[in-house]
Amino acid sequence: MFSQSMYQLGAKRSCIRELFEYGLRQAKVVGPENVFDFSIGNPSIPSPPAVGEAFTSLLIQEDPLTLHGYTPASGCEEARQAVAEDLTCRSGMTIRPQNLFFTCGAAPALISVIRALGVEEAEVVAFAPYFPEYRPFVESCGVRFVAVPADRETFLLPIGELEAYLTPHTQALIVNSPNNPSGVIYPRENLQALSELLERKSREYGHPIYIISDEPYRELVYDGAEVPFLPAIYPNTVICYSWSKSLSLPGERIGYVCVPDCAADSEELFSAVAGAARTTGHVCAPSLQQWVVGLCTAQRPDLEAYDRNRKDLYEGLTEMGYRCVRPQGAFYLFVQAPGGSAQAFSDRAKEKNLLVVPGDDFGCPDYFRLSTCVAHETIVGSLPIFRELIAEF
């Protein structure tokens, strides 16, 4: 006498979480130095010092009734103003506070946008490899989830193949760059080709197709790579952002939806996002966290440790013969499974206390994901085991 679909969603453990918790248990048995856990994307560098200072100075200086009080559903004025100015400055496009709706992180931001676009028979497209939660997010809004297979050579957006997956019911595409799990950043030309196709198809179907740009890794970029500002390339873009990764605040649940003025029916869509948020129980994003991010728009993560991990693991693995696109952003490597089955590879690796996530739920069952936000010793210690494994498969 309760919803079976909700029960299934709650009872089915995420493969990532299961591996992570297995790792914690196993560490107690064999010692943490003998477990090489690449499962979870939990930032391993602390927040910039200014973030901690913002928290404490607000708590000391601000009136607690203001600091902890309800803010408007869309967020407190000061924080929206600060973030709008920062976005305007970085993008060269005018973003107003009224374009921003603060949320409890990127997950409810995505769901609010998808639900806002959830008309009868709606479809939302995602590109493999994709963040596994996209599927339950989309399907729980009563929307059809359409997965476009990956271009395994490059993991770029496969524009040529995409058209076959678009229909008059296509309401939106989710674009996630820098990408989880591949670490790929879609270059400007790739996004321009996407924009041209979507403009043509929007005209053909007689309604806008939106891009939902999921950008939690926007600031986690290496080698000076460019992350193009999508609304400047394709106006019908809605941004979903979170400070989880950029300020190492994943537990604090603070992010936003940005519906820029250039998006079709911008104001109405913003209202629909606000209405959809209300149906998720959104009242406001945590107020203290709103004030903090408003003070910290200039802060950037210290990427040195992630970059070193990325290079050493990428180079170590490719030298052994593993195949993997060199990541330019985020903190993941997506590696082709020797032998073809990531599940089999992951199972065998687990026996050697090496924890890697099979790519099945990412839409690529022949790849596994490595999260590189780990201690550097984990990288060093894991390489001999990777060498044993590639010899076995």
Residue 53 or 360: which CB sits closer to its own copies?
53
Query: Is the backbone peptide bond immediately before 181 cis, with ω within 30 degrees of 0?
Result: yes
Q: Which residue has the tokens 């408007």?
A: 72
Per-residue CA distances from 2 to 8, 12, 136, 138 (Å): 11, 16, 18, 21
Residue 97 or 286: which CB sits closer to its own copies?
286
Q: Smallest distance, Å, CB 292 to its own copies?
A: 10
Q: Smallest distance, Å, CB 193 to its own copies?
A: 24
C-alpha to C-alpha distance for 319 and 314, rounded to whole angstroms: 8
Residue 73 or 193: which CB sits closer to its own copies?
73
3-state secondary structure of 145: strand
Q: Smallest distance, Å, CB 260 to its own copies?
A: 16
Q: Give per-residue burial for 181-204: e unless 16+ CB within 10 Å, then b.
A: bbbbbbbeebbebbbebbeebbee
Residue 4 or 153: which CB sits closer to its own copies?
4
Taking the CB of residue 54, how many other CB atoms lie within 10 A of it? Answer: 22
Residue 56 or 351: which CB sits closer to its own copies?
56
Q: Smallest distance, Å, CB 130 to its own copies?
A: 16
Total length of the chain:
393
Residue 218 or 253: which CB sits closer to its own copies?
253
Q: Smallest distance, Å, CB 108 to its own copies?
A: 3
Residue 114 or 317: which CB sits closer to its own copies?
114
Q: Record the tokens describing residue 75, joined without a space.
A: 């967020």
Q: Smallest distance, Å, CB 42 to its own copies?
A: 6
Q: Residue 221's closest CA among 178, 175, 176? A: 178
Q: Smallest distance, Å, CB 132 to its own copies?
A: 12
Q: Give me the phi and psi of 237, to 5 degrees please.
A: -110, 135
C-alpha to C-alpha distance for 217 and 222, rounded to whole angstroms: 11
Per-residue CA distances from 326 to 15, 149, 293, 317 (Å): 24, 19, 31, 11
